[in-house]
Structure 1
């Protein structure tokens, strides 16, 4: 049985990857975490790590591993209080990632799977003009820049060492236990709060947690994934209005949506300093997963309605 190292196992995506690894049993799994995860010490090997940066020592964690799945990162937040966000993102997402990858290559790791972000491509698309995996990157914020720089460093390291690198850029990830704006949306709907989002004609690509995990594990083994970059989504783009109606249906309630014109929402958001939020609600961001489908013979295993139902069930259990 091949050995695998998973970083970020306590995070939203990392924990789901770990659960799938334990369910499948295809790898002898080691997880690298800051703090222990209750109940897992008898199921996986656990390596305690401190801060992820250019000085981190991964030698014990990567010893004898064939695959590394790197989910750990300094993640994007809407209101970053850092004095120098780009420097802080680079410390973890670039320097820390490259330190892990160098030591993995030195240890003989065959494949390094890196969880990047669609923010490497940019922040928005014109409707009907989706991002593609091989398009020129255009990150617009420090987080996206740090992920792009990490990708570039990993590709160069792959050329220098022969270690295979696979890069995955997810869109917005949702699923049981989701936080941030998606959780806020469910809370608004569940409370019956009227929302001025009933006339938004955008298109956005999302990815269910189960679909992302399935692709990550496909990329850990598929021969055709070596040294490629993949975009991932559910393959069904939705407007914000459609998403809210589907989510309300999953919650078994009616969505109370008011058809306010987009220009009014945008102006109001600008007045209150929430322009970025209005862009996420009203703008389009689509991805083309044709390369992912064709090269890996991969299809998202879970449809949007199934994924939203699972998300809603988990939310309602916690809301009781």
Structure 2
């Protein structure tokens, strides 16, 4: 089975390519910048990207990971249009060229932000919920999903949509990487009284599920479906920090500051969105992936965190 992977040099892409290769897939990795080894350079992702060279390798499946990701401080004059140019028009351009080249299935990595920013107590997000994206990134992912379904209907090419929550693992950056650094350095954190619930997904679990969906013979029932994925272990931010400290074998210094105080101070500092992710709840229901495809997480949260600690390369 030959699989073309976009965004192959990224955090998820590199992990996926390694997993696919280890399982006997013929991987066609594509990157935006200078290619290394067998990578194929395609340039910036957008409505005019030329995929003919990569598609000339005749992949049966395309896994589309490349995207304009969530930007904390966006300097674009029109951020939504910038997201749309890459995440919507860029994805549709690839899908149309892939369908014309005879690709059987396109696996699209979307985001839980399509469902919304937070879930209510006792009401986890489900794959068939009415989408409710709030930020530009989530809106662009939702729009791409809708148009990809239309292309699937028009061309017969199967489309599989995956919406992960926060992904963590070896090489993770962003807010999760910052948490790891703070824990390792023993910095006191005002998060000792956070009783939220959040779903996360280990990189090992996500790439395992993507690999399953990238094999139409193993996952025929995935065709034209949407899936939510997680570790199936929902934790509070406080519990997550304890797990990180345990994995890295360091003393944890948590201060039990009331959540309302954290929210107030964060908003005064212009960090309200960061605080919302640390103290808010976002839980997903993965039963569709379990029931329809028979999928189960391959590693626990503790196992993934210990693998991170063992091979940690963060500065």
Q: Name 2:249's counterpart in structure 1.
A: 252
Instruction: Provide, for residues 226-267 of structure 1, a one-character-per-residue CA deviation record: whole Å limited to 9, x for no partner.
Output: 000000000000000000000000010121001111111111
- 1:311 equivalent to 2:308? Answer yes
- 1:101 equivalent to 2:95? Answer yes
1:128 shift after superposition: 2.1
1:36 shift after superposition: 4.0
1:318 shift after superposition: 4.3
What is the TM-score of this pair, normalised by structure 2? 0.96
- 1:298 equivalent to 2:298? Answer no
Q: Name 2:132's counterpart in structure 1.
A: 138
1:118 shift after superposition: 0.4
Q: Name 1:31's counterpart in structure 2.
A: 29
Give the counterpart of 1:182 among 172, 176, 186: 176
Q: Name 1:148's counterpart in structure 2.
A: 142
1:78 shift after superposition: 1.5
Q: Name 1:54's counterpart in structure 2.
A: 47
2:234 counterpart SS class: coil
Which stretch of the first structure deviates more once superposed, 51-60 or 222-231?
A: 51-60
2:210 counterpart SS class: helix
Conservation of the 8 A alpha-carbon contact between 2:169 and 2:304: yes
- Gaps in structure 1 of 5+ consecutive residues: none
Which consecutive segments of 4 or more residues in structure 1 shift more than 4 A? Answer: none
**In 2: Cα distance, 1:123 partner to 1:49 partner:** 32
**In 1: Cα distance, 2:119 partner to 2:27 partner:** 38
Instruction: Provide, for residues 83-112 of structure 1, a one-character-per-residue CA deviation record: whole Å limited to 9, x for no partner.
Output: 111111100100010000001101111000
1:127 shift after superposition: 2.4
Q: Name 1:267's counterpart in structure 2.
A: 264
Give the counterpart of 2:82 among 66, 70, 88: 88
1:22 shift after superposition: 1.7
2:49 counterpart SS class: coil
Instruction: Name the Cα RMSD after superposition.
Output: 1.1
1:47 shift after superposition: 2.1
Instruction: Provide, for residues 161-191 of structure 1, a one-character-per-residue CA deviation record: whole Å limited to 9, x for no partner.
Output: 1000000001000000000111111111111
**In 2: Cα distance, 1:242 partner to 1:87 partner:** 38
1:151 counterpart SS class: helix
2:63 counterpart SS class: strand
1:60 shift after superposition: 2.4
- Gaps in structure 2 of 5+ consecutive residues: none
**In 1: Cα distance, 2:94 partner to 2:229 partner:** 24
Q: Name 2:283's counterpart in structure 1.
A: 286
Matched residues, number: 311
Q: Name 2:61's counterpart in structure 1.
A: 67
Q: Name 1:16's counterpart in structure 2.
A: 15
Q: Name 2:211's counterpart in structure 1.
A: 217
**In 2: Cα distance, 1:310 partner to 1:164 partner:** 35
Conservation of the 8 A alpha-carbon contact between 2:35 and 2:41: no
**In 2: Cα distance, 1:203 partner to 1:318 partner:** 26
2:75 counterpart SS class: coil
Conservation of the 8 A alpha-carbon contact between 1:246 and 1:305: yes
Instruction: Provide, for residues 210-239 of structure 1, a one-character-per-residue CA deviation record: whole Å limited to 9, x for no partner.
Output: 000000011112111100000000000000
**In 1: Cα distance, 2:246 partner to 2:71 partner:** 28
Q: Name 1:207's counterpart in structure 2.
A: 201
1:310 shift after superposition: 1.1
